[in-house]
Structures are given as structure tokens and as C-alpha cells.
Amino acid sequence: MSNIRLRNVTKRFGSTVTLHQVNLDIEDGEFAVFVGPSGCGKSTLLRMIAGLEEVSDGEVLIGDEVMNDVVPAHRGVAMVFQSYALYPHMTVAENMGYGLKVNKVPKDEIRRQVEMVAKTLQLSHLLDRKPKQLSGGQRQRVAIGRAIVRNPRVFMFDEPLSNLDAELRVEMRLHIAKLHHELKTTMVYVTHDQVEAMTLADKIVVMNYGKVEQMGSPMSLYYNPVNKFVAGFIGSPKMNFLPATVTAWQPGQLSVKMAQDHHLTLNVTTAPVRPGDNVTLGIRPEHLSTDVRSGTVVGFQCEVVERLGTTPICSASATVTIMSKSCSPATSTSGRGRKSTSPSTIASAWSLMKITCASAPILPPRTPTSPS
């Protein structure tokens, strides 16, 4: 068993608390990704699981065994860092097999394991090369291979793709995803890139200021964020947030007044609110459009247009179009997932209307059709 359990795990540096009573379950064979902005504590949490940082309070369990006082070498974990940390004077094969050599594994067994892993990672033709003769992506695969040959219970990745260019990051994401599918070993992965989190994870753990904001499958976080931070962090381009004032509320329906005195009624599930409360509408960019056929048209100032092939992105500072279309059910929460009547309530409305604002995708112009 290689499941991981964290029970009220806290980390202090002097009087500063950097991790606040983290509780987390990672199942055997699961791919868990810790994601969040820089300084949120995700790498510190990973290092505590690996044994590279002491636990101030709480318990870390791997395979249902308490690991607080177990040295890193005996925890059955293998780590891959942002820095490849390859020995420059050794060949690829020697780098990959060095851990087994230190543990006095027979040479024939080391060779067999290295060749098997090299084949999986498409490194067989590079085994006699030195690190300086490899590309960045190849070096990272060697670092991953060095971890695999140890046959650990848990793999841990600390921002392993940060040093790679965009094309190599995509390539390495595919390698890591295939690797998890083949090995079916528990993996814990740290990144600040929510695209990596969405594409790799079985479970995403969103962190901020040393606390877990939300955890769950990628799509559950995307469609049902518990608060504004998660809603804005997961998704690219990020969610648009529009301020509004409640004019009427009943279970399953919310009426609001927006900027420029526009009124809108949404079929959404929210926490109870009262007329006059200030709320925030969270709207995904893919539900926005400048394809105006009906409704009220509002002028706006387009500040930047990023043309990404078939999906141009417009960054603007005002709403554009409000269309009276039927709304899909959605949820609304406040704070850390608790229902609230406070003004910070978020009405997250999916596929509910067409509004263009910051980071909204815009459609290419229509080609006029000739009269028949």
C-alpha cells in the first residue's frame, strides 16, 4: 500500500506558521497535484511528506505507517526536482543506476533495471552519453528514470518542468501521464501551473497562504469552485468577476443589477441573500461572445487582443453584451465553502448569458454571404 494520509499537519518556522493543520488523503495509485501561487506552502508540504522538512504538529502516514520520525531514505519515496541534479562525469546509464549501486545491488540487476526503464522513457540510445550532450527534456527524463529504477512506493515531483520551454513542457507532461498509466504508482506533483494540474491530476489540491482551499477532481474544481480564489485560479483564461447588486432572490433564482443599470435574472442556486447585498458573478470566458444578435449592446474599451489561432482573447475593462438566455444550474458559496449571507457571495453561473469583459474569447468576424 502506498496511500498517503496527512492529519492536522502544521509547519512553523519560529513563530511563523506556514502550513495550517492540513488534512489530506491520497489513495494508492492516485496522481495528486498540489497547485497554488508562489509561497502558498505546496513545496514545503511535499518536502514534509518526503521527510526533508520536519513536521511541527500532526502526522504524516505513508502506507498507513506514521513517518514523522522516519528518515527520508527509509520512506520509500523518490523525488524529481526542478534542478536535474545529474552527475556531469557519469553517463546516462551510470546516473540512472547510481542509487542502486549505493545500495549494493548486483551489477547485472542494475543493468537490467536501467535498460528496462530507459526503454520506457525512450532513452535507450542515450545511455552512453554524458549530461552535457543531452537536451533539457532528455536530462529531465534521465532524472525521472533515476527515480523509477529505485521502484519507490511514492513518486514526488517538485515543479519538474519549470526549466523547460513551452514545447518541451507539453512533451514531458505526456511522458509523465503515460508513466503514471503504466506504473500505477502513487504520485505527488507540485506546480504553480494550473494547466499542468488540470491535465495530469486525478486529484487537485489548491493551496493558498498555507491552507487547502479545495481538493477534488479537475473538473469538479472547474465547475464547482468553493470560493472566489479557486474560481479565479483554475481555468485559463481565468474566470471573469463582475460586481452586481441583488434586487430579488428566491431559491433557484437570483435577480441582480449590474453596471450601467442593467438588470439580469439568473437561474442559479445560491446561498440566501437579500435585496441590496453586493455579490460577484463568476463567468467563464468560453461562455462569452461578441456575436450580438439580440439583447442589449453596451460599449467597452478593448485594451489588448491576443490572437491565438482560432481563439483570439480580448482583455477589456467593461461589459459588452447582455443577452436574455436560459441559464444552467450552478452553485454559490462564500469563504471556505461555507454558505453565507455576506456580501462576498459568488453566483457562479455557467452557460448563463453572453457577456464580454476581461479575458473573454472573441469570435472571428463573420464572412458575408452572397444573396442567392
CATH number, position 354: 2.40.50.100
Q: Which domain holds residue 309?
A: 232-361
- Rounded to whole angstroms, the Cα distance separating 28 from 185 reads 7
| Boundary (domain end) residue, out of 227, 260, 287 | 227
Helices (H) and strands (E) in the chain, counts: 8, 20
Cα–Cα distances in Å, from 8 out to 57, 156, 161, 243, 350? 7, 21, 30, 36, 35
pTM exceeding the 0.85 threshold for the entire prediction: no
- Rounded to whole angstroms, the Cα distance separating 136 from 165 reads 9
Q: How many domains does the chain have?
A: 2
- Exposed, middle or buried, 250 (CB in 10 Å: 0-12/13-18/19+)? exposed
Radius of gyration of the chain (CA): 25
pLDDT at 325: 32
Cα 243–Cα 249–Cα 253 angle in degrees, nearest 5: 90
User: What percentage of residues in the chain have a pLDDT greater than 90?
Assistant: 49
pLDDT at 292: 65
Same domain, 198 and 308: no
Same domain, 339 and 217: no
Spans of the chain, pLDDT less than 50: 295-296, 319-372
Same domain, 100 and 116: yes
Residue labelled with grid coordinates 486525478: 202
Task: State how beta strands 154-158 and 186-191 pair.
Answer: parallel
Residue labelled with grid coordinates 541534479: 85
pLDDT digits (tens, 9 = 90+) for 199-231: 999 999 999 999 999 999 999 999 999 999 999
Q: What is the 3-state secondary structure (H, E, C) of 107-157?
A: HHHHHHHHHHHHHHCCCHHHCCCCHHHCCHHHHHHHHHHHHHCCCCCEEEE
Angle subtended by helix axes 92-102 and 136-148, to nearest 10: 20
